[in-house]
Amino acid sequence: MTAAESLEAAMRRALAGSGVTEVTASGEFTLPAYRPTLFPGAVYGFAVHLDQIDLRALFDEARARKRSRVSKLRSIHSIADTLYPLYWGKDKHLGARPYQHLNDPAKTGAIRLSTYKALRGKTIACVSLVVSDYAAAERILRSAYPDMLKTSTVRQST
């Protein structure tokens, strides 16, 4: 199973029975419509396979930046084997937010994945699910699998 497949399965397991349902990414509207809505929103996650040395390096780097959601390394739990959740997020407009987290944007709150030395050379999985309640889904995922990184509007030097 790939990292993305493991991440997707974990997301679906966490949401099962919560009342938040996955929905199709389709919708209808009639023009002229004031602010037509196509989708109810999405929840997404980033995860990466890390051995204990690389996990420690990423944790230390995030703590040095004051961008770690967890205060102790032992609070970080894998989703499956060595697959660790980096970040859970919600997206009102399908696809916009996950993309912003990849780079180091100005004036945008992002986790800035490309700026972490500990993640260089690592394959990072990203999965997005269109759901009935994206805010609740994000809370459920954070509760089931606490994520490691938090956003910042401060640009990082690479």
- Note the pLDDT of residue 32: 76
SS3 content of the chain, % helix, strand, coil (to 5): 35, 20, 45
Longest dimension (CA), the chain: 56
Answer whether 0.85 is exceeded by the pTM.
yes
Instruction: Report phi then psi at 36, rounded to 5.
Output: -60, 145
Name the β-bridge partners of 149.
68
Residue with tokens 């209808």: 28
Q: What is the pLDDT of residues 23-75, one digit of tens each?
A: 887 777 777 767 767 777 899 999 999 999 999 999 999 999 999 999 999 98
Q: What is the pLDDT of residues 67-115, one digit of tens each?
A: 999 999 998 999 999 999 999 999 887 778 888 999 888 888 999 999 9
Burial class (CB in 10 A: 0-12, 13-18, 19+), 64: exposed
Task: State the amino acid at position 3 in one-letter form.
Answer: A
Whether the pLDDT of residue 157 is over 90: the answer is no
- Note the pLDDT of residue 139: 96
Sheet of 83-91: strand order equals 83-91, 42-49, 124-130
Task: Spell out the domain ranges in the chain.
Answer: 3-23+38-144
- Note the pLDDT of residue 145: 95
